[in-house]
Amino acid sequence: MLEQTLLARQPILNANCETVGYELLYRDPNGCPPGELFDGTAATCEVLLNAYTGIIQRGAQRILPAFMNMNEELLYQELPSFAADNVVLEIIEDVPINDKTIEQIRGLSEKGFKIALDDFTWSDDFKPLMDIVDIVKIDVLETKGKDLFHTMEHLEPYNLTLLAEKVESLNEFHRFKKLGFQLFQGYFFAFPEHIEGKRISGNELTMIELLAKLNDSDATPEDLEAIIAKDPRLAVKLLKIVNSATFSLQRSISTISEAVVMLGLNELKRWAIIVSLSGTLDVPDELCRELLIRSKMCEHIAPQYNAEPGLAFLIGILSGADALFSIPMETLPEHIPLTEEAKMALVDRKGNLGLMLNDVINFTRYEWSNLSGHVDEHTLLQAQSEAITWAIESQKVATS
């Protein structure tokens, strides 16, 4: 059943670090991934795909393609008709390539499905398929050196897109981009790019100052107002949000101090973070999305780790501060005053907050075998589903 299936999504980015799709990674109660998603009704499946592949991009909501693994069994199932417009079928490496499977894959292509070959290494067996294949995914951790160039040489005559899978650093991203790959999968976008002599921009300085003040339990509304006032865009956006239908206020709010009084400091703190992460910083949109989802998941499960939800939310955001500002995580306390508990969580990944953060990151990245077991997997799944929906709705409001 769908409600028993664990789900994660891994972004697929283009050469401009724009998200163009998500691979849906899933596991049923018996540990066997394929088939479970399509066993539900088409309507349930469509809702699920839309929820897990929906994003806010350039101020508008979009549904991106879902890349989904197909084993030999699932290859012969009747797929929902809507899926041709929403799903890229990844033929996994275990599927035998013979006359029967080639005919079936060709039929799916004729129905409008895009076809990807997963964990690809060249074999002449693939020749009859190559005229209908759209995307070839190469595991760049496994396929290296001569094997990589041999595979790319054989693919050169065909009109297809190369996707580098398991790209885990920005150096690797730039390297494979130069080699001719057009799509990239991995968490390279969530790692800092250390540039010698790089200066922190005005937007980044405001964001760092804001995060520092949000982490200060003694912060006053006036303190927050003083920081927000330094960034006119942030101030205008926040006032626009406060006066929107989202809050249904009885009268118009014209100053940040009024907004604090009407909404409360905690609510304004949250919206200040959402606005700051929605197009203000010069970082990939996917990183901002991941941090919003991570922070909301942390807030959701915080009580089960004896953590305060507001602090857990902030820890989720700060866990990406190294990538946001291109600074090593161990130097974060030099920029943002941290409690010993927060420092242990962010720098050493220890303590209750560190345990919580690790569980959230491991769950969303499909590393389910690394979960601590402190909370059950389906609590994390529920937190993830609600966090994705919340992030989409929040960014919609913040960018409208």
Mean pLDDT of 338-363: 95
* Torsion, Cα of 215, 216, 221, 223 (10° steps): -100
Whose tokens are 């969530």? That residue is 190
- Paired tokens of 223: 């303190």
- Paired tokens of 320: 């990406």
The reported pLDDT for the residue numbered 153 is 94
Mean pLDDT of 228-248: 82
Quick one: what percent of the chain has pLDDT higher than 90?
A: 52
The reported pLDDT for the residue numbered 267 is 81
Domains of the chain plus CATH, in order, are 2-190 (3.20.20.450), 202-399 (1.10.3210.10)
Residue 200 pLDDT greater than 80, yes or no: no
How does residue 1 score in pLDDT terms, banded at 50, 70 and 90? very low
Report the predicted TM-score, pTM, of the whole model to 2 decimal places. Answer: 0.89
How does residue 134 score in pLDDT terms, banded at 50, 70 and 90? very high
Give me the sign of the Cα torsion angle 140, 143, 144, 147. Answer: negative
Mean pLDDT of 337-346: 92
Residue 259 pLDDT greater than 60, yes or no: yes
What is the C-alpha to C-alpha distance for residues 212 and 182, in angstroms, rounded to an integer?
38
More confident residue, 55 or 232: 55
The reported pLDDT for the residue numbered 44 is 63
The reported pLDDT for the residue numbered 344 is 95
The reported pLDDT for the residue numbered 34 is 47
More confident residue, 59 or 305: 305
- Indicate the average pLDDT of the chain: 86
Nearest CA to 387 out of 283, 279, 293 is that of: 293
Residue 123 pLDDT greater than 80, yes or no: yes
Helix axes 256-263, 265-277, angle to 10 degrees: 120
Q: What is the pLDDT of residues 304-313, one digit of tens each?
A: 999 999 899 9
What is the C-alpha to C-alpha distance for residues 275 and 372, in angstroms, rounded to an integer?
33
In the chain, the largest separation of any two C-alpha atoms, in whole Å, equals: 72
Range scoring the smallest mean pLDDT among 67-81, 153-167, 267-281: 267-281
Residue 58 pLDDT greater than 80, yes or no: no
